[in-house]
Amino acid sequence: MTNPDGPSKSRRPLQFSLRSLLGLMVVVALVFGTLRWLEVSATASAVVLVISIVAVAAAVALLASIAGAE
């Protein structure tokens, strides 16, 4: 059976662009700047950091599993 779309194209690896990396850094800076402005303790800021890291790791794992399923 032939592919109606032509030969299969190889997929590019998942990667971040410079624009998305800059946007992510701006969001992180705004979150921690707001926490500092609200005078939140360093322990609470560390908890926010850990939760953010776990959420990003889960999102990357989900995207990788979705990309691998296709």
Whether residue 22 contacts residue 35, with contact meaning beta carbons closer than 8 Å, is answered with: no
Regarding pTM above 0.75, the answer is: no
Number of domains comprising the chain: 1
Domain housing 38:
24-69
**Within a domain: 18:** no
pLDDT exceeds 70 at position 11: no
**Within a domain: 11:** no
- What would the pLDDT profile of 12-69 be if each residue is shown by its tens digit? 666 778 888 899 899 999 999 999 999 999 999 999 999 999 998 999 899 888 887 7
**Within a domain: 36:** yes
Tokens 């705004």 appear where? 30
Please report which confidence band the pLDDT of residue 5 belongs to, taking 50, 70 and 90 as the band edges: low
Residue 18 pLDDT: 87
